[in-house]
């Protein structure tokens, strides 16, 4: 795959490079990112360097990962990407630094990625995108729900985080599905408790 930059005029997505290592390192100190993703903990600069090379440079070159930094007002706010599952499928993952949460930045970024993945003639023209999160990550589910993902599974101890088993939630979006909520929040019972009271912020998915 050829790296591509995406923008809607407010949010810009570009491939992470060595110039972004320090910003990534700082962002991944956030306790919420470490709690809900599989990033190393503690997170060191060498981890950011490995991420940029593995998921940024080689991921695109080897058709394994399409990964973008999320930029708003000239500041790196987070990451979003697709782990490719040929043929015709990928898993979306994202995280957002604290300063970018609660303002629709991640929503815009996810819509840009889905547009490229499903509709762009130069994109992979996927048939399906999967979403996964550790059970209880309601903010990540809200991001996916808002763009039309349909909840499909709650698997007890179905995921691994740094050698520990955690519950796994999963959902899918197909190319022709509407990219808007298809059911009232919270979309499905999820065999889980009612969402917590108060505002929901965009904290990261585990991927």
DSSP 106-131: HHHHHHHHHHHHHT-TTS---SEEEE
pLDDT score of 190: 52
Kindly state the average pLDDT of the residues 150-159: 93
Residue 39: DSSP 8-state: -
pLDDT score of 184: 80
Residue 197 confidence (pLDDT) above 50: no
What are the distances in angstroms from CA 31 to CA 68, 81, 168?
22, 21, 20
Question: What's the rounded Cα separation, in Å, for the pair 169 and 189?
Answer: 12
Residue 145 confidence (pLDDT) above 60: yes
Kindly state the average pLDDT of the residues 103-110: 97
Phi/psi of residue 101, nearest 5 degrees: -85, 150
- Can you list the domains of the chain with their CATH numbers? 6-174 (3.40.630.30)
How many Cα atoms are found within 13 Å in the side-chain-facing hemisphere of 83?
11
0.85 surpassed by pTM: yes
């Amino acid at each position: 795959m050829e790296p591509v930059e995406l923008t809607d005029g407010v949010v810009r997505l570009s491939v992470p490079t060595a110039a972004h290592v320090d910003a990534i390192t700082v962002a991944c100190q956030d306790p919420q990112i470490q709690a809900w993703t599989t990033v190393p903990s503690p997170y060191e600069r060498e981890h950011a360097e490995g991420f940029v090379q593995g998921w940024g440079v080689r991921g695109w070159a080897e058709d394994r990962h399409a990964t973008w930094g999320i930029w708003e007002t000239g500041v790196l706010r987070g990451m979003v990407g697709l782990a490719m599952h040929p043929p015709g499928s990928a898993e979306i993952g994202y995280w957002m630094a604290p300063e970018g949460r609660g303002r629709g930045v991640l929503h815009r970024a996810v819509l840009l990625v889905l547009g490229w993945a499903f509709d762009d003639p130069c994109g992979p023209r996927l048939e399906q995108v999967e979403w996964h999160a550790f059970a209880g990550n309601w903010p990540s589910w809200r991001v996916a729900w808002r763009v039309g993902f349909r909840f499909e599974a709650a698997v007890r101890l179905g995921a691994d985080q740094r050698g520990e088993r955690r519950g796994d939630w999963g959902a899918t979006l197909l190319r022709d599905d509407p990219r808007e909520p298809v059911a009232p929040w919270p979309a499905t019972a999820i065999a889980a408790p009612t969402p917590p009271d108060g505002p929901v912020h965009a904290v990261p998915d585990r991927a």
